[in-house]
Structure formats: structure tokens, C-alpha cells
Amino acid sequence: MRTMTPAHRPVLDDTTAGTVAVGDRRLRRLGFGAMRVAQARDRRGECGRDAAVELVLAVRDRGVQFFDTANIYGLGASEEILAAALAPYAEDVVVATKAGFQPGTLKPGQRMLPPRGRPEHIREDCEQSLRRLKTDCIDLYQVHVPDPGVPWAETVGAFADLQRTGKVRLIGVSNVTLDQLREAQRIVEVASVQNRYSVGDRRSETVLDACERDGIAFLPWAPMIGVEGRPVAPVVDGIAAARGASGQQVALAWLLQRSPSILPIPGTSQLTHADDNVDAAWLRLTDEELSRLDIARPVQGQP
């Protein structure tokens, strides 16, 4: 009999959507992205730390094992919230964080924070993340973005040094090209790649294929980005309406069926949306629906 949450929603187990290897760990193939967790609101609509912790615990109660954050999310608040909810960490829980951007807030006209990939900055950021996460070893530490002003090998090498000193267990890379992935693999054993990828934005297709061949977990961020305003959007909406699902659930279901290496990490600040995201693990698209989504896909390389 399937375990049920107090809200009578099914709980993920290893057979729901299968598992994927993240380094030496096998995890259920639906995680949680904690970028917006600091903005969480409780059932009364009130925002605060208690609401954020409640959201993380609710996701954990649904059987989620993988939690993804970064040092820049909420200026470190996301890491602190995960620690408040999950520490001391259970053996079946993996918390991943990232470094590689200059912490701060976006200024007018900025689309992203400045990259910061120098080894001394990576070491400094790691110490701060260890403190906020209340741990002496980060499960999965990811290079958030390549810094064009720093040789890629130097940035990745800083992560390798942290692994050798025992402060990092596994290393991942994010927002990389295939060439950057290959260079990183010559320096460290890459456990994960986190790139933008969705049913409507498949520019990382070659990177995903490489991950599948090499046994690397692929963590697609923002599953609905690239769907809005693209030819695939009406197809997603049509399937969602016919199945009594949301477009987000269809996008997540597509990711789960696209490759066994994919570990989606949808995020939200709302408990109901978090439950809906987990529910997508039980949505199985038909071959006909998958074919319609592929026919409507944008040309590879198109944003």
C-alpha cells in the first residue's frame, strides 16, 4: 500500500519515477529547487522563515531526497532554511549548493550577477556555505557558472582542492557547454550537470546525451522557461487540459520520460505548487503526446 501524506497525496518511492545515480548515491528522480524558498508563504499567506521551513519539510514528507540551492539564493537565506528544516541530515538526503557568482542583488539593467570564479573566492564561498548549511562537508558542490575572466581549469581545480580536503564530497558543473564539461572531467569526476533545458528549450541536448553516456546526473533548471511563447506552448497546454494537469506538470513529466539521467529540480515558494510538482511524477505521457511535443519542438539552438 502506498504511504500517504496528511493531505492524502502519494509519497514518492524508488519506483515512482525511478532513481538516478548522483556520484555514489542513488536518488529518486524528482528533487526540489530552493531558489525561491526564502519567499515562501504559509497556508494563511504569511511570509517568513517558519513558512519556508514548513515548505521544505512538506516536500521532504512527499519523499523528495534531493535539494538544490546556491550561496546567492536569498543572499544565503536559502541555505540557512534548508539547514533549519533538514539538519542534521538523514542518510538518504542530499543537499547541493553552488558557488561562482558574486553574491549580491541585481542592479537596474543587470540580467545576472557578475561571475566570480577565482579559487580564493570559491574557497571563501565554500566556508560560508558550510556554516549556513550546518555541515562540515557539502554533499554536492557545483560550479554555478564559468567565469570568462578566469581559466576554467583554475575554477574547477579549486573545487577539486576542496574535495581533497574533505569539505566537498561530490562536484558538479552548471551552465556549461560540452567542451567545458569535457575539460572539467579531465580535472575531477563530475557527478552532475545543471543546465537550462526543457521541452521548449533543448539547446543542451548534446550535453544531456553526454551525461547519459557517462553516467552523470543531469539537473535541468526552470522546466517552463523556453515553453512560453514557443511553438510547443499550445501543445503543452492542450495536453495539460486533456489530462486535467498543469502545463508545469506536463513539462516535468516530459523531462522524466526524456532521459533516465534527468533529475528535475522544480522550485516554488508555494506549498500547493510544490505538491503539484511532486504529483507530476505519476503523470505518464503517451507515445502520441510525446510525438506531438517533439514535432512542435523549436529548432535546436533556437532560444
Catalytic residues: 73
Looking up cell 511532486, which residue turns up? 278
* One-character DSSP codes across 126-150: HHHHHHHHT-SSEEEEEE-S--TTS
Helix, strand, or coil (residue 152): helix
210: left (phi over 0), alpha (psi -120 to 50) or beta: alpha
Question: Are 16 and 282 spatial neighbours (Cβ–Cβ below 8 Å)?
Answer: yes
Which uninterrupted H or E stretch holds 233?
helix 233-243
CA distance 65 to 90: 9
| 47: phi then psi, degrees, rounded to nearest 5 | -95, 145
- Nearest 5°: the CA angle 221, 222, 228 is 145
